[in-house]
Structure 1
Amino acid sequence: MSVDYRLVEEDIISSIAWSRILLDIGILTDIDQKLIEKTLSQILKDNIDDTNKILSSQAEDIHSWLETTLINKLGSLGKKLYTGRSRNDQIATTLKLWCKKKLNHIYMLIIQLQSDFLDQATIHVHTIMPGYTHLQRAQPITFAFWCLAYIEMFERDRKRIKQALKNSDFSPLGSGAISGTSWVINRKKLAQIMGFANCTSNALDSVSDRDFILEILSVASISMMHLSRFSEDLIFYNSGETNFIGLSDSITSGSSLMPQKKNPDILELIRGKCSAVYGSLFSMFTLLKGLPLSYNKDFQEDKKHLFSALDTWEDCLTMASVVLKNITVNIDICKRAAEKGYSNATEVADYLVNKGVSFRDSHDIVGQIILEAIRLNKSLKNLDISVYQKYHINFSNDIYKCLTLKSCLDKRNSYGGVSFEQTEKSICFIKKRLNKIKNILKI
């Protein structure tokens, strides 16, 4: 009860649907069904905002509590509701209904987070910063380009949520304990009453299936990994070693000893919470791997893993939006960092390729030039032309046009590239995609 009390609304929804099916087959009269539905709705209204009465009861679980409460209010009429129904198909149905509601809410949070990334991308199209591989400065990118990368990550999460919702949109209700029900009911109609697309096909599988939980937790784990990478990036960008961004005081804290510290607490917590969601997924795999068909009491453990993981995912998505909405990008510092570290070295190699030198040879030549530049403590754009010509005769003064950050970015103009032009196109495309989704969802 301390865990599945949260299923009260879904248990009542499935019970109301079942009462309508019992009306169809003559177990309930029209008056009886309406009274049961009205009573169930009132029970929900009385308990949805204050669950203390549920939690303080001596009931084994939410289903037992609801049954007892209904019988206490309606007497023998309340007992009729449980004709042909087992707690096995009831809990499977209730869990799926809860997952649908929770996932639809998380789906909205994903869209909101993408919108927050898009807002930052729109502001920072021309904010140049270093891109990294192996945590070494690699090539210049923009903060907008970084934001667009995460939009694509969370777009895959959005699609996975949509697919998980579709895969679980089958009602198990009417499967009975393991073999179906002897009552002639319309299970497809029953499913539609509750908002499912269809009903499951095999009663034995229906009451023991928890694949939908595994799939949802898998989606949650992948998305939490994306949130963890996002957090790690910003922790690094916020560090004193880079100082690319500033974080709001509302999501940071000071040190108990060192007054100069401003610690990125929320980002570290998001990163840490990722492991808890992974743990829920692995726990569910371990829980299910040895279970024979069909229902087993081990299933009582599934809800705490599901609820904990999805609550954590929801909280972390919400906090990621808070972080993004209150971030400050230190534009000048980012640009100066992009100018260091020889991030324009590839442009020198490409320059030689355009002069007829093979890329492999030009790669080696530029490596030697960089060593010389390091020895002279100069950037590539500040090297004298004589230094370039020392390593290859094809260098001329036009090399300097290739070494500006703008030139480096403009050349990456292929589809999906970092150029300002491609970034603007990507922003436009994503804005249309998000607006289309929001229009469909009416948000």
Structure 2
Amino acid sequence: MAKIWNGGASEEGGEDLSDIMTAEDVQIDSLLLDYEVISLLAYQLQLRKESIISKDESDIILSGLWHLLGKEITIDPMVEDIHGFVEEYIKGNGGKAYKNLRIFLSRNEQSHIDIRSFYIDHLLRISNDLTSLSENMMMRKMDFNGVMPGYTHNRQAMPVMISTYFDYLSRIFLDISLYALDISKKFTLISPLGYGSGFGSLSPINFSKVAKNLGFRSNAKNPMSGSFYRGIDDLDISIFLLRLMTFLSKISQDFINFSGGTNPFITLPDGFSTGSSLMPNKRNPDFLELVQGYASEAIGNCVSTATILMNKGTGYHREFQISKDKTIKFIILCEKILNHFHGFMMKFTLDEKRAFDSMENSINATAEAYSIFQTGKSWKDAYVTVGEIIKKNIPLEFHQPYEFESVSNVDILKAKEKRIELLNSWRKPREEMLNEVKAIITNDSLK
């Protein structure tokens, strides 16, 4: 089967390299079908409006592309990528019209707009999940009035209100949600279509209009600066996922600690722990441990992507295919992890009495030192006095910790409004463009 890039200076050899060149890549590309089709529809619509190709050819191409929307596909590695798959489909259904499907387009700019659009949609979805988690942690904290131990260096440090711990969870989930929206917004500023292979497009159409029809603010004013972000987008996503997975890893360790030992006060929900193959007493925190393992993988993906980008000249390099495939697979995995984590966070149980009883005598040392300081002693003397008390195992008075609150209903509402505003500015132009294409196809079919 001929590849769509045949016919140039490069000749096909007798060696079949598809097992390493395209086999894994086409699996990822199959997820990009709708993004490929939508960007081509916007481009072809502008070609039609500016009379670059005939209306007869345009009708065939628009209709063929339209019928690909929403399909589940498997790409033959010999076709090479999503671009080849779409072109083969149009060729099979529209004859010679397929030859103008990609007039003046570079594979790099097409791949880039597919990937960037995919990332925007998934970041918006993850942001929604994180905001929902933040809101649910606010709700769960209302169920508790008790106190739990706080830890530094994996040792009990100071008591903390249980509600403060839940507010902490809510705060960080919300912060990461807003971070996802910031990246999404940055991605929507510039459409990759129009930078060609990185040095400008020969297409005479108005790429600014194409960009706006696809939900982007504009096209790249300098094609080299636009193409620079191919690969950098992968790194941005990798860094975001690293931040998300680092947080999930940290609180996974919290719950491992809180649910084990001699005084556990957290009970892991059914389905999130497993039994031992030998010891019937065990309830292993396998889910939480796997989350930590995947967090380690997030570090590897981030380093791998950064390394691929290093020491490369300006322009596209084929290694970016590797960073793209890794990043797309990992963002899908992280979405699944986050979905299950949400279930975990809503189902674990906490025993207030056991949380209080699990606190060691020394956990009140800092508050006791402050209490002595208030009697007129220096802070250093108060510190030494309490140290001596601890050494002698003398019981300390319990000091009620302050309750801290950083997230309000207004914060959650603002995050939701920010996401909806970005979602609408991203999707509405695409929907309007698709409706315009649908009207053309419908009118032509009635003739």
Q: TM-score, normalised by structure 2?
A: 0.83
Q: Which of these residues, 75, 94, 108, is aligned with residue 88 of structure 1?
A: 108
Is 1:252–1:264's contact at 8 Å kept on the other side of the alignment?
Answer: yes
> Corresponding residue for 2:306?
285
Question: Where does 1:391-406 land on structure 2 (aligned, <5 Å)?
Answer: 403-405=397-399
Is 1:247–1:328's contact at 8 Å kept on the other side of the alignment?
Answer: yes
Larger Rg, first or second structure (1 or 2): 1
1:147 maps onto 2:147 in alignment: no
Q: Which of these residues, 168, 184, 206, is aligned with residue 165 of structure 1?
A: 184
Give the superposition deviation at 1:105: 1.1
1:379 maps onto 2:400 in alignment: no
Give the superposition deviation at 1:321: 0.7
Q: Which of these residues, 240, 258, 275, is aligned with residue 237 of structure 1?
A: 258
> Corresponding residue for 1:266?
287
Which stretch has the larger CA shift, 251-260 or 363-372? 363-372
> Corresponding residue for 1:400?
none
Q: Which of these residues, 400, 411, 414, is aligned with residue 436 of structure 1?
A: 414
Gaps of 5+ in 1: 381-402, 413-418
Count of aligned residue pairs for this structure pair = 394
> Corresponding residue for 1:99?
119
Question: Where does 1:13-412 land on structure 2 (aligned, <5 Å)?
Answer: 13-30=38-55, 32-45=57-70, 47=71, 50-51=72-73, 54-56=74-76, 58-124=78-144, 126-169=145-188, 170-209=190-229, 210-338=231-359, 340-372=360-392, 374=393, 378-380=394-396, 403-405=397-399, 408-409=400-401, 412=402
Is 2:181–2:419's contact at 8 Å kept on the other side of the alignment?
Answer: no
Distance 2:367 2:317 in 1: 64
Q: TM-score, normalised by structure 1?
A: 0.84
Distance 1:315 1:273 in 2: 12
Distance 2:380 2:325 in 1: 56
> Corresponding residue for 1:398?
none
> Corresponding residue for 2:432?
none
Tell me: CA distance 1:219–1:32, structure 2 relative to 1, closer, same or farther (3 Å): same
**SS, match of residue 283 in structure 2:** coil
Distance 2:196 2:417 in 1: 40
Higher relative contact order (CA 8 A, sep 6+): 2
Distance 1:436 1:2 in 2: 38
Give the superposition deviation at 1:201: 2.5
> Corresponding residue for 2:30?
5
Give the superposition deviation at 1:34: 4.5
Distance 1:356 1:379 in 2: 22
Give the superposition deviation at 1:182: 2.5
Distance 2:375 2:90 in 1: 85
Distance 1:335 1:227 in 2: 25
Gaps of 5+ in 2: 1-25, 424-447
Cα distance per residue 1:183-206 (max 9 Å; x no partner): 322222111111112222222343
Is 1:281–1:305's contact at 8 Å kept on the other side of the alignment?
Answer: no
Is 1:5–1:62's contact at 8 Å kept on the other side of the alignment?
Answer: yes
Distance 2:119 2:273 in 1: 33
Distance 2:51 2:286 in 1: 60
Is 2:127–2:178's contact at 8 Å kept on the other side of the alignment?
Answer: no
Letter in 2 for 1:149: Y
Give the superposition deviation at 1:350: 1.8
> Corresponding residue for 2:16?
none
Give the superposition deviation at 1:285: 0.9
